Structure 1
Amino acid sequence: MKLLIPVDGSDLSMRAVAHAVQLAVAGLRTELVLVNVQEPASVYELVTLHDADALAQVADAAGRDTLAPAVKLAQAAHVPHTEAVVTGDVVAMLLEVLEAEGCQAVVMGSHGKGRVRSAWLGSVSQAMLERAPVPVTFVKPVDADAD
């Protein structure tokens, strides 16, 4: 089973990675697809740098840096995994990777690094719940029950 795991650098996304790794260690035959979505370059960045390839390299490096702790966790547990860094709208890109990789489920944090949050789920989490054609499992913050 392939699991899509969005990684945005937040503690909660790392908890999602840890949860997926625990499933694999417990016996679920799985491959993790660790994905980071970078925002497209701003107009300011495009105007000042003038080099789309350089901007793409910067985005890829930032994404790989964000994925590094998740990759390390999967490697330490000997869990098969692939990495993807993509640029664009977060939900659209996650759905694109989901389809391209043939993932059968998503495991993600209930909130990410974004500033906009609904009462129960983050905006990306809510959109994935509504739009993903596969089951979505949410990992809650440690203190979620403290409210």
Structure 2
Amino acid sequence: MLKILIAVDGSELSLDGVHHALALVRQGLKASIVLANVQEPATLYELVTTRDPDLIAAASLEAGDHLMASARALLDAAGVAYETDVGVGDVAHTLVDMIERSGSDMIVIGAKGQGAISSALLGSVSQEVAHASPVPVTIVKHADPRDASDGDMAEDVPD
């Protein structure tokens, strides 16, 4: 059975990845799902003021679980079994570590759909994951509602 890791950060973009994986499962793909969230490492200020690494780790896990709530709800509603994983570190590299640790066969990740110039200037987690991943990467581009409404208008135009 195929194991799909889905990067989830609580955004609509990441939910697009969940919807995509659910569509594949509904079409008959036999797959298990791993929802993955990556938290940023604690800042020096947090480390100095808290002085309790266990408390910081617990806060990261709680934040990750919270950000996966919508994705979990979608999978629960669809009756699809899943596991979750929360990591801490650089997003792209941590996702690659999570792929290897979970034994995933592919990763699904949302993308902003930026143009080439914006991506080159700003960097892109999805592009970095695609470059570093040891497994196939599916990048799900967010549907622009304006594109859908333009298509609807074109269909309403009489012949």
Distance 1:34 1:67, change over 3 A: same
Cross-structure match for 1:130: 131
Quick one: percent identity of the two aligned structures?
A: 46
Q: How does the TM-score come out when normalised to structure 1?
A: 0.89
Runs of 4+ deviating beyond 6 Å: none
- SS of the residue aligned with 1:40? coil
Aligned length: 142
User: Computing the radius of gyration over CA atoms, which structure comes out larger, 1 or 2?
Assistant: 2
5+ residue gaps, structure 1, are: none
Q: Larger % of helix: which?
A: 2
Cross-structure match for 1:25: 26
Preserved CA contact (<8 Å) 2:93 2:129:
no
CA offsets per residue over residues 64-85 of structure 1, 9 Å max, x none? Answer: 0001111111111111211001
CA RMSD of aligned residues (A): 2.1
5+ residue gaps, structure 2, are: 148-159
Q: Distance in 2 between matches of 1:48 and 1:60?
A: 19
What amino acid sits opposite 1:76 in the alignment? A
Cross-structure match for 1:89: 90
What amino acid sits opposite 1:102 in the alignment? G
Q: Distance in 2 between matches of 1:111 and 1:101?
A: 26
Distance 1:122 1:67, change over 3 A: farther
Preserved CA contact (<8 Å) 1:105 1:136:
yes
Q: Distance in 1 between matches of 2:138 and 2:30?
A: 17
What amino acid sits opposite 2:93 in the alignment? A
Residues 1:140 and 2:134 aligned together = no
Q: How does the TM-score come out when normalised to structure 2?
A: 0.82
Deviation at 1:124, TM superposition (A): 0.8
Cross-structure match for 1:66: 67
Preserved CA contact (<8 Å) 1:3 1:104:
yes
